[in-house]
């Protein structure tokens, strides 16, 4: 895709078959998702293998894809995830799709970027429970990986930085352009129904876009959960204050993306909102001091469902087999 | 592919690009794997979705692919699998690849075919722990599935037979033709090294082919584990006698396929052989009364590694989202 900047609106030239069409992007607080640009296909392919690699977990059965299932909107659709030893995690697993567009990673933003994030769940006791040194040792014992890391990084010694770097590179390809809302943003008036458009207007005019803006319709700021009314939760998660130490940051969480939100139920950092209707109702009351009517909630939900984009086609990788020297998984450790 | 029968050998006409080559298949106890014939692509596609569908488990995180991982030779590479509640299963998960070629399913053959097999792990308490009625109810509450089952089966009411039938139809596509051994079988003398060929000769002449024969190099009979010497195991699995009730069938197990055996470690019904070398040594002593030398084991292992075929390219399915009416997973039930 080529992109030209005009004075007031971005003008995109989109190739569709052999026909060219000039499309003005509407000036809205939510912007279209751009397709992924793959700069290093070999690194992405390696990262994809590691994304699906259960040998990065102590048990040998948990991979990144277990909790961020690419077949299910990049989530596990559980309130909180199940990890090593069947332990429940403390917060809801956010979607990996479009996560590259966020200002920081994790609900509390404790990782600056995807690369920094990727190392966390590997070693977390309630997730994959795998020390980084052992993860490296395992991959280093697998001839297929040694060869592939060498071809990508030019070294025959694998390190944890290469592992997280290639996983992040794969994750950057997990964007979901071409939702119906994006088609509308690019000028297709018929892409949204009247109800959906009414829902978007209400979403915008009642203030949701103050936080849910940008290409990901979220992910651009940290905000307090419970602005007008406090949010009641049994979750121990304190949010941003766990990172900054500042009391003012208590219960501040990264605003989640609304992209593919119809696929990423249940909602909120504690997964306590089972449906979109519940989530919209709670957000209206707690964040905006507004009680939406049933019809209004229906309109906003109809709009939210137009944010489901085209999920990338992912071919399952064939993982290189362990060697006799590879440390075996230990589910009960 | 077209196939003509001649008097003594099967003659296959293989299309390679635009060139045709007549290839005589060598008359060996192991036969080439034929590519899958897809008769109903829509049913296969539905079955693929169900294969990757964690909502068929009570926890919402275990799918067929958890224990028969298509990225890992169709197994989980664990001694015995981890199921619902982190419980360990009683036997090693066999590979799903080429399982359509077996005389029966499960180690003890208690399911006649893939369709009958598919219902077992869904409801087994140590596997997916999901009553069939609830599995049906969940799929029936998901509009995307209702539509897809209707288009495949012509009914808008889903039943467990349709679920297992479509999973079986997908599994039938999971064959792995074109291993180096198959190329040799089809006449390519250079497909095997001298060592590999010596290994095959030894494998054949010392009697392994009595059980490991046919296209899957196994799966054609039930045999006693421990013919010459008893097999010592802490596994409670009794084998075929659990199905027939006959004492003579105790410790008789279905002979596993050796196709892709380099990928399907660890070995035996209890997963106690960690490496191919161990497995070959044990089989020689216990089944044939023969102690192979280190060199002989190396030759046989080299041959076994030539049985790794082309794994089919599987595109991850996009699973239809739950509706508000869909019963939610309950990992701790």
Note the pLDDT tens digit of each residue in B101-130: 999 999 999 999 999 999 999 999 999 999
A274 touches chain B (CB under 8 A): yes
**Predicted local confidence at residue A91, as pLDDT:** 96
**Predicted local confidence at residue A21, as pLDDT:** 47
Count of helix runs (H) and strand runs (E) in chain A: 11, 7
| Residue A277 is a catalytic residue | no
For A262, nearest residue in chain B (alpha carbons) = B321
pLDDT bracket for residue A20 (50, 70, 90): very low
**Predicted local confidence at residue A23, as pLDDT:** 61
Cβ contacts of A319 on chain B, cutoff 8 Å = 71-72
Cβ contacts of A277 on chain B, cutoff 8 Å = 324
From the list A313, A317, A332, the residue facing B71 with the nearest CB is A317
Contact B328 A66 (CB under 8 A): no
Q: What is the pTM for the complete model shown?
A: 0.93
B263 touches chain A (CB under 8 A): yes
| pLDDT of residue A240 exceeding 70 | yes
For B88, nearest residue in chain A (alpha carbons) = A331
Catalytic residue among A127, A169, A171, A272: A127
Contact A319 B78 (CB under 8 A): no
Cβ contacts of B61 on chain A, cutoff 8 Å = 66, 76, 78, 81-82
Query: What mean pLDDT do residues A23-35 have?
Result: 93
From the list A72, A315, A331, the residue facing B78 with the nearest CB is A331
pLDDT bracket for residue A24 (50, 70, 90): confident
| pLDDT of residue A12 exceeding 80 | no
CA distance from start to end of chain A: 50
Cβ contacts of A76 on chain B, cutoff 8 Å = 54, 60-61
Contact B324 A274 (CB under 8 A): yes
**Predicted local confidence at residue B242, as pLDDT:** 95
Query: What mean pLDDT do residues A53-58 have?
Result: 98
DSSP symbols for B39-102 = S-HHHHHHHHHHHT-GGGSTTSS--HHHHSBTTTTTB--SSS-EEGGGEEPSSPPPP-TTGGGS
Please give the DSSP secondary-structure letter assigned to residue B14.
E
Contact A77 B329 (CB under 8 A): yes
User: In this prediction, what percent of chain B has a pLDDT beyond 70?
Assistant: 93
Rounded CA separation A227/B324 (Å) = 27
Instruction: Please report, in tens digits, the pLDDT of each residue of chain B (333 residues total).
Output: 344 333 333 333 344 443 344 567 999 999 999 999 999 999 999 999 999 999 999 999 999 999 999 999 999 999 999 999 999 999 999 999 999 999 999 999 999 999 999 999 999 999 999 999 999 999 999 999 999 999 999 999 999 999 999 999 999 999 999 999 999 999 999 999 999 999 999 999 999 999 999 999 999 999 999 999 999 999 999 999 999 999 999 999 999 999 999 999 999 999 999 999 999 999 999 999 999 999 999 999 999 999 999 999 999 999 999 999 999 999 999
Q: Which of A61-65, A81-85, B7-11 has the least mean pLDDT?
A: B7-11
Rounded CA separation B144/B136 (Å) = 14
Contact A78 B60 (CB under 8 A): yes
Catalytic residue among B127, B148, B196, B272: B127
pLDDT digits (tens, 9 = 90+) for B7-36: 333 333 344 443 344 567 999 999 999 999
A1-333 carries CATH number 1.10.760.10: yes
**Predicted local confidence at residue B166, as pLDDT:** 98
B329 touches chain A (CB under 8 A): yes
Nearest Cα of chain A lies from the Cα of B325 at a distance, in angstroms, of 10
**Residue B183, phi then psi, degrees to nearest 5:** -65, -40
Is A64 within 8 Å of A117 (Cβ atoms)? no
Cβ contacts of B144 on chain A, cutoff 8 Å = none
Q: Distance between alpha carbon B286 and the CA centroid of its chain, in Å?
A: 24
Show me where the domains of chain A are located: 1-333
Contact A263 B73 (CB under 8 A): no
Rounded CA separation A49/B206 (Å) = 39
pLDDT digits (tens, 9 = 90+) for A181-229: 999 999 999 999 999 999 999 999 999 999 999 999 999 999 999 999 9
User: In this prediction, what percent of chain A has a pLDDT beyond 70?
Assistant: 93
Helical segments of chain A, H only = 41-51, 64-67, 114-123, 132-140, 143-153, 160-171, 180-185, 194-205, 241-244, 276-288, 294-304
Contact B61 A70 (CB under 8 A): no
CA distance from start to end of chain B: 50
Q: How many CB pairs under 8 A join A and B?
A: 95
Q: Which helix (H) or strand (E) holds B184?
A: helix B180-185
**Predicted local confidence at residue A13, as pLDDT:** 40
- Using omega within 30 degrees of 0 as the cis cutoff, is the peptide bond preceding A51 cis? no
**In this predicted complex, what is the ipTM?**
0.92
pLDDT digits (tens, 9 = 90+) for A268-299: 999 999 999 999 999 999 999 999 999 999 99
Contact B66 A61 (CB under 8 A): yes
Cβ contacts of A72 on chain B, cutoff 8 Å = 54, 319, 321
> Among residues 128-157 of chain B, which lie with CB inside 8 Å of chain A?
none
């Amino acid at each position: 895709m080529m992109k030209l900047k005009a004075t007031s609106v971005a003008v995109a030239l989109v190739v569709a078959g052999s026909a060219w069409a000039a499309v003005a992007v509407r000036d809205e607080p939510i912007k279209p998702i751009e397709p992924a640009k793959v700069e290093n296909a070999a690194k992405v392919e390696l990262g994809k293998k590691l994304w699906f690699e259960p040998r990065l977990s102590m048990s040998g059965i948990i991979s990144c894809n277990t909790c961020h299932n690419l077949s299910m909107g990049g989530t596990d659709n559980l309130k909180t995830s199940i990890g090593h030893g069947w332990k429940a995690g403390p917060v809801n697993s956010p979607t990996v799709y479009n996560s590259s567009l966020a200002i920081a990673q994790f609900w509390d933003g404790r990782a600056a970027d995807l690369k920094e994030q990727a190392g966390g769940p590997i070693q977390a006791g309630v997730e994959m429970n795998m020390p980084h040194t052992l993860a490296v040792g395992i991959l280093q014992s697998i001839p297929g990986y040694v060869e592939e890391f060498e071809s990508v990084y030019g070294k025959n010694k694998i390190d944890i930085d290469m592992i997280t770097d290639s996983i992040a590179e794969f994750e950057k390809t997990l964007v979901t352009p071409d939702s119906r809302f994006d088609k509308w943003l690019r000028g297709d008036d018929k892409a949204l129904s009247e109800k959906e458009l009414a829902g978007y207007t209400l979403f915008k005019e009642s203030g949701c876009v103050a936080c849910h803006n940008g290409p990901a319709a979220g992910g651009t700021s940290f905000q307090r959960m419970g602005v007008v009314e406090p949010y009641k939760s049994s979750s121990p998660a304190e949010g941003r204050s766990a990172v900054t130490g500042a009391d003012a940051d208590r219960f501040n969480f990264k605003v989640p993306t609304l992209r593919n939100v119809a696929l990423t139920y249940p909602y909120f950092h504690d997964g306590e909102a089972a449906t979109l209707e519940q989530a919209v109702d709670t957000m209206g009351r707690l964040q905006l001091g507004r009680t939406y009517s049933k019809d209004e909630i229906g309109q906003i939900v109809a709009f939210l469902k137009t944010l489901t984009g085209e999920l990338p086609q992912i071919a399952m990788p064939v993982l290189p087999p362990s060697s006799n020297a590879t440390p075996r998984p230990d589910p009960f450790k």
